[in-house]
Amino acid sequence: MTIMEQGGGAPQAAPDLIKDTTTQTFVKDVIEESKRQPVLIDFWAEWCGPCRQLTPVLEKAVRNAKGRVKLVKMNIDHHPAIPGQMGIQSIPAVIAFVNGQPADGFMGAVPESQVNAFIDKVTKGVPAPGEPNIAEILAEAEAVLADGDAAGAAQIYAEVLALDSTNIAALAGLAKCYVTTGAIEQARQTLGMVPESKRNDAGVKAVQAAIELAEQAQSVGPVAELEQKVAANPLDHQARFDLATALNAQGKRSEATAQLLEIVRRDRKWNDDGARRQLVQLFEAWGGADEATVEGRKKLSTILFS
């Protein structure tokens, strides 16, 4: 049956977005295809009045989604095996498949607004063909920054923000680029664009910690002078604390960790547990997966629980 016959005059949709399937082609049309983008399967029958109401609404919504989702229709009278296996007992029934698995669904001839909301839900984060993939662009920016090109990464993050000015990962990433280049005030201004409700985002908190550490580093003095102070008096915990801050500003994470761990080992209570709290801030700024964070946490645990 054509779309015109089912939908009372709805125009034929592009075949790559909307198609009929059979028991034999179900795996290819629905399960395999859903590994590329979400697929809706519409179980219907010719005698079903609500089906004739829902189908054109589904087709319109799928076309409006511009390739983020596909629609596959199955006549349960002609092909009863699949709906039987899936426990479909009432039609119309629409099931969304994502990554090869049924993810959500609804029954009945629901209104257009509800269909649109359903499609928005199952296609969240899925770019339409030709649209930029934000997740891939963010991953590229992160890799560029990791390679030491803060300016290049900042440009990529700015491109993401041109598409989505409220993207939290891009705001945090751009702020991190500014911290890396020493533009602390610009970093702070960028983080200020993050809504209050998103301030607990891990990426945002990491950059906030990095900003605070960078500001501390501006007031502690040169590494060489601090090393001389510590060598002259190993019990000068403030000098050792400042040395750790300065070392971190130079990217010497393991060395900074070692100095703070030494304070914890010698005097856990110094400055209201300040050395341990500074370590926690360093770990937050570096990120949980950073090698220096992983090793530092292990060594801190050994000291604290020995």
Which residues form the catalytic set? 48, 51
What whole-number distance in Å separates Cα of residue 237 and Cα of residue 14?
Answer: 71
Contact 285, 206 (CB under 8 A): yes
Q: Which two tokens stand for residue 192?
A: 């200020």
Three-class SS state of 162: helix
- 203, 168 contact by CB (below 8 A): yes
How far is residue 47's CA from residue 91's CA, in Å, rounded to a whole number? 10
Distance CA 91, CA 42 (A): 9
CA 123 to mean position of chain CA atoms: 15
The DSSP H or E segment spanning 94 is strand 93-98
Tokens, residue 294: 């992983």
* 8 A C-beta contact, residue 170 and residue 161: yes
**Joined tokens for residue 31:** 């399960």
Cβ contact 81:21 at 8 Å: no
- CB of 254 within 8 A of CB of 261? no
